[in-house]
Amino acid sequence: MKKGNDFFNDVYDVVRQIPVGRATSYGAIAAYLGQKRGARQVGWAMGSSYQEHDIPAHRVVNKAGELSASQLFETPTTMQERLESEGVKVDNNRIMDWDKVFWDPEKELI
């Protein structure tokens, strides 16, 4: 994947590649983009994408698999509903079987 100069757009490009039924973390995206300590920057980028339909923002969670941005979607349950519609099990605002659902862009993308 070609990494451009616009960090936010690079974040969105990675998020668009997360497969249905999988999720990743802010930190994993940051690491892939060469910003090992840039999880917060990824969060800022994602902040303007929660209402966008072409960016599957519901697939980006914190490093523990928690739906930390659920309040930023249309409703507080939208993020969970979207994940569950893709076969991801969520309990108490946290992805179940996080180790199996986790998608690592550093291993999956070239």
Tens of pLDDT, residues 63-93? 999 999 998 888 999 999 999 999 999 999 9
Regarding pTM above 0.85, the answer is: yes
CA distances from 57 to 49, 62, 94 (A): 7, 12, 15
- What pLDDT band is residue 4 in, cutting at 50, 70 and 90? low
- φ and ψ of 25, to 5 deg: -110, 160
| Per-residue pLDDT, 103 | 98
Mean pLDDT estimate for the chain: 91
Kind and range of the H or E run holding 7:
helix 7-15
What domains can be seen in the chain, in order of their start residue?
A: 7-98 (1.10.10.10)
- The residue to which tokens 């969060």 are assigned: 43
| Per-residue pLDDT, 1 | 45
Q: Provide the b/e sequence for 58-90 (b: ≥16 CB within 10 Å).
A: bbbbeeebbbbbbebbeeeebbbebbeebebeb
| Per-residue pLDDT, 57 | 93
| Per-residue pLDDT, 104 | 97
Those residues whose C-beta lies under 8 Å from the C-beta of residue 5, and which sit 6 or more positions away, are none
| Per-residue pLDDT, 84 | 98
pLDDT mean over 94-105:
97
Residue 5 has pLDDT above 90, yes or no: no
In whole angstroms, what is the distance from residue 98 CA to residue 48 CA?
25
